[in-house]
Amino acid sequence: MLSDEIRREIEEKIRTSGTRQGACIEAMIVVQKHRGWVSNENIQDLAQFLDMAPDELDGVATFYNEIYRKPVGRHVILLCDSVVCWIMGHDGIRDYLTRRLNITFGETTTDGRFTMLPVQCLGACDHGPAMTIDGELYYDLDSKRIDAILAQYT
């Protein structure tokens, strides 16, 4: 069930986009902002609210890697795995994060603090390898820099 607050926020997105279906991504982001992720029940409720088929909305949700279809940690790490970041040391950074956090892609730390996900490109190709945490971009990564960055999210 969508709360009144969520419905109001989505109605504003609909006014901005011009159509109910055109606001579907923004609507899922609103739900995610309030609930942390977009559950199957949320997809059903949103689809009905937006006059869409649930499968159609789910197809949009699964296309966008920043719409979370299962619970995530308090902080989401998106590690760039583009060709340029691979060349500039992605494997080492991924392996360091895996050891440091004791998780692999798609997993959440046992304390619920971090979820780590791959992302195709963050647009920081001249400063790879790169990652974001909660939308904040970090680049020129090495183990020392990662430790300093993670310490900010305690």
- Quote the percentage of the chain above a pLDDT of 70: 100
**CA-to-CA distance for 32 and 9, rounded, in angstroms?**
12
- Residue limits of CATH 1.10.10 in the chain: 4-63
* Termini Cα distance of the chain: 33
Looking at 3.40.30.10, 1.10.10.10, 3.30.1520.10, 3.30.465.10, the CATH number of the domain 75-151 comes to 3.40.30.10
Q: What is the mean pLDDT of residues 89-99?
A: 96
* Span 63-88, pLDDT tens digits: 988 899 999 999 999 999 999 999 99
Q: What is the mean pLDDT of residues 29-40?
A: 96
Tokens 């926020």 identify what position?
Answer: 9
Residue-averaged pLDDT of the chain: 95
Q: What is the pTM of this model?
A: 0.84
For 4-63, CATH gives 1.10.10
